[in-house]
Amino acid sequence: MALMPQRDAFRHDGAARDQAARQGMWIFVIVVVVLFAASILGYLVVRLNPHMTGPWRTADEAGLPWTLLLSTAALLASSATLHQSLVRVRRGDQRGCARFAIATYWLGVAFVLLQGEAWWSMWRQQVVKEENLYAWTFYLLTALHMIHIIGGLFGLGVVARRAGESMYTTANHNGIVVCGIYWHTLDAIWIVLYATLWLGSL
């Protein structure tokens, strides 16, 4: 029973809740970074294996789809618009915050669609996972990132809706901050992942 007043105080202490949410997100982000670091390390171990019997990628197999460049641009743009959403709400510009939050959501959707097109492009060119490790690792790593992006879109959707309803203010915008921690991390991870895949396809 002694804990009840503390719980009630925490429930009514917005600053404490915001801090706890940010700390929780940072812990989750660390887990995600470790997961991708391990995945990329595993990819490099396989790619640089000196005892590989066959070629990593034959001359007639397609390289990385060019749509990955477009999806990368969309993801970078989404980070920029999400940052602008935060900047605008801190200035008290709720309409600007909403516009940039909505733009961020749709840029995230564009990233997913472009990634799907990249998969389809690889499939059309008959680069299938059963044939070689090059294709298998491409599908595995991009799918792993895509799952986290789709999860992030749910959060972005909530942020965009709340921003559109002017629920964020100069003093209360922790939802954008927490979502931004996750989204910017996925952006940075994708840059490293894409660079790794590109170098590995050479």
Q: Looking at residue 154, what is its pLDDT?
A: 96
Angle between helical axes of 133-164 and 14-47 (0-180°, round to 10): 160
Q: Which pTM value belongs to this model? A: 0.86
Comparing CA positions, the residue from 114, 113, 116, 81 lying closest to residue 98 is 81
Q: Which residue has the tokens 């929780």?
A: 24
Q: What is the DSSP string of 1-28?
A: -THHHHHHHHHH-HHHHHHHHHHHHHHH
Q: In this predicted model, what pLDDT tens digit does every residue of 140-157 receive, in sequence order?
A: 899 999 999 999 999 999
For residue 59, the 8-state DSSP code is T
Comparing CA positions, the residue from 157, 154, 147 lying closest to residue 189 is 147
Q: How far is residue 45 CA from its own chain's centroid?
A: 24
Q: In this predicted model, what pLDDT tens digit does every residue of 45-72 receive, in sequence order?
A: 888 876 766 666 666 666 788 899 999 9
- Tell me how crowded residue 41 is: count the other CB atoms within 10 A of its CB: 11
- Tell me how crowded residue 168 is: count the other CB atoms within 10 A of its CB: 24
Structural fold of domain 18-50+65-200: Four Helix Bundle (Hemerythrin (Met), subunit A) (1.20.120)
Which residue positions in the chain have pLDDT lower than 50? 1-4, 6-10
Q: Alpha-carbon distance 132 to 62, whole Å?
A: 12
Radius of gyration of the chain (CA): 20
Q: Alpha-carbon distance 156 to 183, whole Å?
A: 9
| Whether the Cβ atoms of residue 182 and residue 28 lie closer than 8 Å to each other | yes
Q: Alpha-carbon distance 74 to 112, whole Å?
A: 10
Per-domain boundaries in the chain: 18-50+65-200
